[in-house]
Homo-oligomer: A and B are copies of this chain.
Amino acid sequence: MTATRRPTLADVAREVGVSAKTVSRVLNEDGPSSPETRRRVLEAVAKLGFQPNLMARSMRVGGPDTTVGLVVPDLGNPFFGAVAGGIEDAVHGHGLTLLMGSSDDDPEREHALIRTFLARRVSVLMVAPAVGADHAHLKSHRAAGMPVVFLDRPGNGLTTDTVVSSNRAGTQEGVAHLIAGGHRRIGFIGDLPARLYTRRERQAGYRAALAGAGLPHDRGLVADAHDPAGAAEATARLLALPDPPTALLSGNNVMTIGVMTELSRSGRKDVAVVAFDDVPMAGILEPALTVVAQNPVTMGESAGAAALERLGGDRGRARTILVDTRLVPRGSGELPPPARTR
């Protein structure tokens, strides 16, 4: 971690025997400079390995930063990649650059990352909150004019623009789809921790659909996991029940991998499935996977648009933007329950 002191403008100037400003001029092609001076300056720059300190520069020049800081729980989840893409689409034309970091769903890391962004004077802060994180400390920043937008999940302790999927209604629609197909026992495979906003909302949608159809809510049909392997186990467990579900609702894209892997492994093509959040190649599984598709790019674009309006001076009250999900029937959700004696 050792670092020899980096040479400064003044060092170069001394080496050449000119003033710092002259060196600055040569380097930035600012005012005029004699070819001779220019040559000697460049020579000294190379010799000393001088490297301008952009921080000092931008401190002097001032001007607002042009960065949007985005904190996500997981860089590896394509959902957040897509959201980030949407944000970029929205803000890039306005001269803003998106910088993204991961909290790993850890409140402390999220806080550290936010501090990093704030200290670097991002002009917008976007956060997909980690479970259990608190955001009251952002109040003053927001009050001072820095747009703060929550994505995918609401924040805690701060009222500000928030962009979320229609988790509850979407899941409800997916489960209703299964019920309409004749299913009466429908399993729910959710992610952990169970208090995660999206998990809660989706499970609420699941219950609402059951209630809407007058079906009982059997807690034994609700299973948890935090990775594909766990989801696979949970799936196997539900299907091994004495009175097993004939259909499953997979709570997110990660769970879906495990659910589908287990169904494939056990050769159970008779179990109907609806998955929340679309996945690549869902259409070519056999049967093709019916999903409640989210629209992550639109979510990012909405967040970007909201931030731009705030930057434009809009001080109206915080909005919650609900981005619609869409039921995409492809086959797995249309499997009828096996005939059974009543």
Contact = CB atoms under 8 A, between A and B. Distances in A.
Given A76-B81, A143-B49, A145-B3, A283 B312 contact: no
A273 to B, nearest CB: 12
Interface in A259-296: 260-261, 263-264, 279-281, 283-286
Contacts of A97: 101, 112-113, 116
A120 interface: yes
Contacts of A131: none
A212 interface: no
A85 B75 contact: yes
Given A100-B99, A261-B283, A286-B286, A51 B1 contact: no
Interface in A26-84: 45-59, 64, 67, 74-78, 80-82, 84
A120 B55 contact: yes
Contacts of A49: 140-146
Contacts of A98: 101-102
A292 B246 CA distance: 36
A81 B52 CA distance: 30
B88 A81 contact: no
A8 to B, nearest CB: 11
Nearest to A261: B284
Interface in A146-160: 146
Contact of A2 (B84, B260, B312): B312
A48 B78 CA distance: 38
Interface residues of A, number: 75
Nearest to A96: B1
A119 interface: yes
Contact of A48 (B4, B59, B144, B257): B144
Interface string A287-322: 000000000000000000000000111000000000
Contacts of A313: 1-2
A118 interface: yes
Contact of A78 (B64, B76, B113): B76
A102 B76 contact: no
A121 B57 CA distance: 12
A205 B1 CA distance: 40
B51 A140 contact: yes
A105 interface: no
Most chain-B CB neighbours within 10 Å: which of A77, A112, A121? A121
Contacts of A58: 55, 119
Interface string A203-216: 00000000000000
A7 interface: yes
Given A49-B140, A99-B99, A100-B101, 10 more contacts: A1-B94, A2-B312, A50-B140, A75-B81, A75-B88, A76-B81, A76-B85, A280-B280, A284-B285, A285-B285
